[in-house]
Amino acid sequence: MKRLSLHIAFWLVYLLQDALLQFVWVAPVVSQIPDRTQLLMALEAALMALIPKLLFTWFILYFVIDKILNEGSRLFRIVLQIVLAMTVSVVLYRVIFNYTIPWIYKGVLHQKTLFNIQSILLAIMDIGFVSGVAIAMKLLRMQLGGKDREKNLLRDKLEAELKFLRHQTNPHFLFNTLNNIYALARKKSDNTAEVVMKLSKLLRFMLYESKNDLITISEELKILDDYLELERIRYSERLTIVFNKAIDDDQQKIAPLLLLPFIENAFKHGASESRFDSFIHIDIRLQQGSLTFGIENTKENGDAAEVVDNIGLGNVRRQLELMYKEYDLTVENQNNLFRVQLVLNLNSHAKIQLHNSRR
């Protein structure tokens, strides 16, 4: 329907301008005819002259171009078809101008010959002009449509990758937490039931809330607190956890589960591998949309080698690339300390809308 409307609008505009030109050109010859009648005659003549232009243009638009795009026909064959179509259009054009238009002007205008070099060149230029404009407009529309499709494909690709990353985070978290429950069960700890209950709450959040494109910072902090409670039960007094918060707006939006992998990593490669007392220090500050998140944990292996991203860190790094335009992530591996620092502009969210992110 939109395409039909565009065609009608194009040809109406062309018809009106062609009628106006006809009116101006012919006016000196038919000055004895009233202007209103001249205008109606010019409109009728332009309408008749439109027939060969319309036929040739539609032939090019819906036969030649489509054939080139869909079949990739040979150039010689295409050129031959265009020449034949132009020949038929020129003949029809000249017949209309030689017989029909003089009749419209009641014999005041007349053509001496049906074909001559000047009249043929004029017909080719007249037909070629309008068809050239129409073809250019179609090619432009196709190019713009192709860019839109390319953008949609890129967006869909990014959406699919982001969904994969989030789905990858959930099993990774679940695997680590089940290991914790297994360790408590082996010890026949009284805290096992409490841990299972807390885990069920976390899983409920992951199944429902984490599907949203964005959540509030208060919801993100709540999930971090719940996870830390789980770990406190497991490690008891052997591990010191400090969680400092300075938030100026707890309704500020953030991508869900963005910070959890950093904390998981601190437990997995810090406290879980430590035989003695250890600590995890977490500091999160939010001011006017700028988030500063820092976490450091002790470790015992004394290895200060260059950090290679594991599943958790690599996952969150890629999510940051996809979802935020302004961020800085620093990872430091020292002999007895591992530190991560993230500075993130939450207002620079790229707004990749997940089609299934609305409940």
Q: pLDDT tens across 240-292, in order?
A: 889 999 999 999 998 888 888 888 888 877 666 666 678 899 999 999 999 99
Per the model's pLDDT, the better-predicted residue between 16 and 168 turns out to be 16
Q: pLDDT tens across 108-122, in order?
A: 666 667 778 878 888
Q: Are residues 104 and 193 located together in one domain of the fold?
A: no
Residues of the chain with pLDDT > 90, as a percent, come to: 11
Q: Give the residue from 110, 127, 114, 105 showing the smallest Cα distance to 44.
A: 105
Q: Which of 56, 85, 115 is the last residue of a domain?
A: 115
Q: Which residues contact 80 (CB under 8 A, 6 or more apart)?
A: none
Q: Are residues 163 and 301 located together in one domain of the fold?
A: yes
Mean pLDDT of the chain: 77
Residue 331: pLDDT above 70? yes
Please indicate, yes or no, if residue 138 is contained in any of the structural domains: no
Q: How confident is the model at residue 27 (pLDDT cuts 50, 70, 90)?
A: low
Q: pLDDT tens across 81-111, in order?
A: 888 988 998 899 888 887 787 777 776 666 6
Per the model's pLDDT, the better-predicted residue between 31 and 317 turns out to be 317
The domain containing residue 174 runs over which residues? 153-348
Please indicate, yes or no, if residue 35 is contained in any of the structural domains: yes
Q: Are residues 111 and 162 located together in one domain of the fold?
A: no
Q: Are residues 199 and 288 located together in one domain of the fold?
A: yes
Burial class (CB in 10 A: 0-12, 13-18, 19+), 156: exposed
Please indicate, yes or no, if residue 142 is contained in any of the structural domains: no
Q: Are residues 42 and 184 located together in one domain of the fold?
A: no
Please indicate, yes or no, if residue 62 is contained in any of the structural domains: yes
- Give mean pLDDT, residues 310-329: 80
Report the pLDDT value the prediction gives residue 290, as an integer from 0 to 100: 94
Residue 56: pLDDT above 80? yes
DSSP string, 136-168: HHHHHHHHHHHHHHHHHHHHHHHHHHHHHHHHH
- What are the CB-based long-range contacts (under 8 Å, 24+) for 265-270? 265/310, 265/312, 265/313, 265/340, 266/295, 266/296, 266/297, 266/338, 266/340, 267/176, 267/231, 267/297, 268/176, 268/312, 269/297, 269/299, 269/338, 270/297, 270/298, 270/299, 270/338
Please indicate, yes or no, if residue 266 is contained in any of the structural domains: yes
* Residue type for position 96: I
Report the pLDDT value the prediction gives residue 328, as an integer from 0 to 100: 92
Please indicate, yes or no, if residue 359 is contained in any of the structural domains: no
Q: How confident is the model at residue 158 (pLDDT cuts 50, 70, 90)?
A: low
Question: Cβ of 241: how many Cβ atoms within 10 Å?
Answer: 19
Q: Are residues 56 and 193 located together in one domain of the fold?
A: no
| Number of separate domains in the chain | 2
Q: Are residues 228 and 291 located together in one domain of the fold?
A: yes
- Give mean pLDDT, residues 175-194: 71
> CATH number for the domain including 316?
3.30.565.10
- The torsion region of residue 236 among left (phi > 0), alpha (psi -120 to 50) and beta comes to left
Q: Are residues 27 and 157 located together in one domain of the fold?
A: no
Q: Which of 115, 137, 168 is the last residue of a domain?
A: 115
Q: Are residues 231 and 331 located together in one domain of the fold?
A: yes
**CB of 36 closer than 8 Å to CB of 88:** no
Q: Are residues 81 and 12 located together in one domain of the fold?
A: yes
Residue 297: pLDDT above 80? yes
**CB of 255 closer than 8 Å to CB of 293:** no
Q: Are residues 297 and 186 located together in one domain of the fold?
A: yes
Instruction: State how far the Cα of 104 lies from the Cα of 101, in Å rounded to an integer.
Output: 5
Where is average pLDDT lowest: 41-50, 75-84, 268-277, 341-350? 268-277
- Give mean pLDDT, residues 174-191: 70
Q: What is the pTM of this model?
A: 0.54
* DSSP reduced 3-state for 219: helix
DSSP string, 238-284: GEEEEEEEEES-TT-EE-TTSSHHHHHHHHHTTGGG-SS-EEEEEEE
Please indicate, yes or no, if residue 221 is contained in any of the structural domains: yes
Please indicate, yes or no, if residue 357 is contained in any of the structural domains: no
Per the model's pLDDT, the better-predicted residue between 264 and 155 turns out to be 264
Report the pLDDT value the prediction gives residue 194, as an integer from 0 to 100: 74
Q: Are residues 213 and 336 located together in one domain of the fold?
A: yes
Report the pLDDT value the prediction gives residue 307, as an integer from 0 to 100: 57
Q: Could you tell me where the beta strands, DSSP code E, fall in 27-142?
A: none
Q: Which of 115, 140, 164 is the last residue of a domain?
A: 115
